[in-house]
Amino acid sequence: MWDPSETTLYSMMMFLFMETILEMYLTRRQISVYKQCKTVPRELQHVMNSDTFEKARVYGLDKAHYGMFKMIVCDIVILQLELYFGFMAMVWARSVEIAENIGLNPKSEIQVGCLFALILNIIGIFKEMPFKIYGTFVLEEKHGFNKQTAGFFVKDQIKAFVVAQALTIPVAAAFIYIVQIGGQYFFIWLWAFVAVVSLVLITIYPVYIAPIFDKFRPLEDGELKKSIHDLASSVKFPLGQLFVVEGSKRSAHSNAYFTGLFGVKRIVLFDTLLVNKGLPADDPSLSESDKGKGCKNEEVLAVLAHELGHWKLGHVAKNIVIMQLQMFLIFLAFSKLFTYGPLYEAVGLPAGEKPILIGFMVIVMYVLAPYNTMISLAMTIMSRRFEYQADGFAQELGYADELGNALIKLQLDNLGFPVYDWMYSAWNHSHPTVLQRLERLKSLNKEGHKSKIQ
């Protein structure tokens, strides 16, 4: 018979393995759709030609095959081997040795824990880097989306690593300290700390962190800027600044978002969302492939009307509340489980050794994996509902047609494949498919169509 630590280990390994098998099965279903669906759906035949459809089909097929390969290597081979051979315990032991060699206190869990987090992050970079390089310079390059040079990519990775360590290591130190001194109800203090940190990061990220990675420029004065301000005023959105981010230096994919939790907010448009990146058609920086791509002003307004719908309908606030409730429940579960010795022995630690960081990682990543899966699925269902509601908000402002056109145009520009297996989509997509959204907009239009705000 297995002892408790072996039972714990094999239970974790089995669930993670079965979850990966499920995801691979769903991906195989979608691969079958890519292989069998070779004609443009009737709803898109007036805007999508067979050549674009074929490019989107091949792009989706390549991504799906790459995803299958990555799941096999990372989730079945590497993850299972790491668990079985006690990878985290090895890194912790090495962290203790290094701490002693560089003059840190090997008996200080905070100092060793920070070193452990740093080493784990460095190893994670090396594990993930081959996949990032392939995804960027082979997969995305093949289909015309990668805009990064090798130098830009290297600088981007270095900046991302430095910023990540500057944020995670102090948080890890504070995390361990709070558990050590927090007493029986340390999980409440831990939750309060993480809640404050997360809200601070959400607030400062667009102002101080995002500009480290991408160049932002104010949206030029003109008709689009005035129309956006008018739209924001019509729904009482406290718009302060309008920026265009040069996302085209990284990728040809498009997006738009708003930031700011309290008071004045900012709207950020990816330059790839705008026709000709928001530049004059004769601008020398525009390549031939860039010209004509992007959304017209009315379509950009429709996309923003959708995003403002998320704000007006309270989706942002609801997501923050749900996130905080989730964190509270996770910390509560951690407080009840982290003293259970077999959890630590299951990942290779000697009996009696219970590092706080490892306990938290094992509980959140492995013990709570079934719970996390159920919550993720529930959040996906809720997110799709929110997307429909935000589309409805844009329709009420009179942007149904323009939003439909924008969805189609973004689908074409991003080589999005419009046909999905229903099980694959329900599990993986936080947004309804473009065909589902177009159908919903069509039905909303039949029910009633309000005029645009003047």
> What is the tens place of the pLDDT at every residue in 26-45?
999 999 999 999 999 988 99
* Predicted confidence (pLDDT) per residue in 399-444, tens digit: 999 999 999 988 888 888 999 999 999 999 999 999 999 999 988 8
431 assigned binding-site residue? no
DSSP state letter for 39: S
Distance CA 277, CA 244 (A): 9
Q: Please determine, for residue 454, whether its predicted confidence score (pLDDT) is greater than 60.
A: no
CA 366/CA 16 separation, integer angstroms: 8
For 205-264, what is the HEC assignment?
HHHHHHHHHCCEEECCCCHHHHHHHHHHHHCCCCEEEEEEECHHHCECCCCEEEECCCCC
Question: Which of 293, 336, 283, 318 has the alpha carbon at shortest distance from 389?
Answer: 318
Does the annotation flag 100 for ligand binding? Answer: no
- pLDDT over 90 at 340, yes or no: yes
Please give the backbone phi and psi of residue 266, each rounded to the nearest 5 degrees, phi first.
-125, 145
Q: Which of 330, 334, 359, 366 is nearest to 344 (CA)?
A: 359
CA distances from 441 to 17, 172, 312, 388, 403 (A): 40, 46, 19, 9, 9
Least Cα distance to 438 among 400, 409, 383 occurs for: 400
The predicted structure's pLDDT at residue 256: 79
What residue ranges define each of the domains in the chain, with the CATH number in brackets? 214-294 (3.30.2010.10)
Q: What is the pLDDT of residue 240?
A: 81
- Quote the CA–CA distance of 346 and 85 in Å, as a whole number: 10
Q: Sorting pLDDT into bands at 50, 70 and 90, what band is 99? A: very high
Is residue 239 pLDDT above 50, yes or no?
A: yes
- What token pair was written down for 360? 């938290």
What band does 453 get if pLDDT is binned at 50, 70 and 90?
A: very low
| pLDDT > 90? residue 115 | yes
pLDDT per residue as tens digits for the range 177-217: 999 999 999 999 999 999 999 888 888 888 888 888 888 88
| 149 phi/psi in degrees, rounded to 5 | -85, 165
Encode burial over 255-290: b for 16+ CB neighbours within 10 A, e otherwise: bbebbbeeeebbbbbbbbbbbbbbbeeeeeebeeeb
User: What phi and psi values does residue 292 have, to the nearest 5 degrees?
Assistant: 90, -15
Q: How far apart are CA 320 and CA 284, in angstroms?
A: 43
Across all residues in the chain, what is the average pLDDT? 90
Q: Which of 116-125, 228-237, 328-337 has the lowest mean pLDDT?
A: 228-237
Q: Where is 266: in which H helix or E strand?
A: strand 265-270
The pTM of this model reads: 0.88
**Dist CA 426 CA 384 (whole Å):** 9
Give the H or E element holding residue 269. strand 265-270
Q: Mind listing the pLDDT tens digit for each residue in 374-393?
A: 999 999 999 999 999 999 99
Predicted confidence (pLDDT) at residue 246 exceeds the cutoff of 90: no
Task: Name the residue among 302, 275, 318 with its Cα closest to residue 404.
Answer: 302
Q: Which residue has the higher pLDDT, 291 or 40?
A: 40
Mean pLDDT of 256-278: 76
8 A C-beta contact, residue 405 and residue 299: yes
List active site positions.
Answer: 307, 391
Residue 387 annotated as binding? yes
In this predicted structure, what is the pLDDT of residue 4?
92
DSSP string, 328-343: HHHHHHHHHHTT-HHH
Average pLDDT over residues 85-113: 96
pLDDT band at 13 (very low <50, low <70, confident <90, very high): very high
Residue 15 binned pLDDT confidence (cut-offs 50, 70, 90): very high
Whole-number pLDDT of residue 150: 92
142 is written with which tokens?
A: 């093949």
Q: What's the confidence (pLDDT) of residue 290?
A: 61
Query: Under 8 Å CB-to-CB from 260, ≥6 apart: which residues?
Result: 203, 206, 240, 266
In the block, residue with structure tokens 């409730």: 325
Is the per-residue pLDDT at 253 higher than 70?
no
The model's confidence at residue 285, banded by pLDDT at 50, 70 and 90, is low
